Amino acid sequence: MIPFRNKKNLYLVTSQEYCLQKTTLEVAREAIAGGIDIIQMREKTFANDELIKLGKELSTLSKKHNIVFIANDDPCLAKEINADGVHLGQSDILKHPIYKVRELLGKDKIIGVSTHCLEQVKEANSLDIDYIAYGPIYKTKTKDYTVGPEKIEDVIKTSRFPVVFIGGINKENIRAVLKRGARNMAMIREISESPDIKAKIKELKEIINEYNN
């Protein structure tokens, strides 16, 4: 499995609390119709049985449309729902060492890790993973801090893996991130809260595609 088939990717992180009148599954369907590249299931309020049910539905939907599907936090859940991989936060790595996650999921599955500073980016370079996320770039409801966009160039130069930038990125500020060299963007509310998700995805991807490298 190749986590980033293209040099530019738009990455939807799901969260039912920000889906307004729609379900996570409905948001995912509309995002796929709009051309989303990667979907990560991040549902902090769901019980385990709800996560399994939704995860299997999202996994089936994503495979049908050749979309990369990532589970959040839990490698055992990722295996059970047949996700393409798992995304782990810094605290998750303490509970689930990367070498054990790789043994559990196998070499063909994707492992991503969250980073919040250059030191963590450097540490991630020694791990058996496939990509890193860096953020939150801007203020967001899901985190109580920001790292800002100032280190984007340094993060890209330092990481030996593709970097997904996340945190408060939206239509208004995305160009400021792109100008610093970012090409892989992850979003929650900007997509999920849009009244026309399909159109929003297309609009965001058009902006990303303005940048050639």
CATH number of 9-203: 3.20.20.70
Reported as a pLDDT band with limits 50, 70 and 90, residue 11 is very high
User: Distance between CA atoms of 13 and 71, rounded to whole angstroms?
Assistant: 10
Contact 87, 112 (CB under 8 A): yes
- What would the pLDDT profile of 123-153 be if each residue is shown by its tens digit? 999 999 999 999 999 988 777 788 999 999 9
With 60 as the cut, is the pLDDT of residue 2 above it? Answer: no
77: nearest Cα among 127, 40, 131, 108: 40
User: Distance between CA atoms of 192 and 188, rounded to whole angstroms?
Assistant: 6
Average pLDDT, the chain: 94
Q: Give the count of beta carbons closer than 10 Å to the beta carbon of residue 143.
A: 15
Write down how long the chain is: 213
Q: Domain spans of the chain?
A: 9-203
With 80 as the cut, is the pLDDT of residue 5 above it? Answer: no
For the chain, what is the total number of helices (H) and then of strands (E)? Answer: 10, 8
Give Cβ neighbours of residue 116 (< 8 Å, ≥ 6 apart): 90, 134, 135, 147
Contact 77, 55 (CB under 8 A): yes
With 90 as the cut, is the pLDDT of residue 1 above it? Answer: no
pLDDT on residue 180: 97
Tokens of 150: 């100032």
Q: Is pTM beyond 0.75 here?
A: yes
With 90 as the cut, is the pLDDT of residue 14 above it? Answer: yes
- What would the pLDDT profile of 176-192 be if each residue is shown by its tens digit? 999 999 999 999 999 99
- What would the pLDDT profile of 36-83 be if each residue is shown by its tens digit? 999 999 998 899 999 999 999 999 999 999 999 999 999 999 999 999
149: nearest Cα among 121, 178, 124: 178
User: Distance between CA atoms of 57 and 70, rounded to whole angstroms?
Assistant: 13
Reported as a pLDDT band with limits 50, 70 and 90, residue 203 is very high
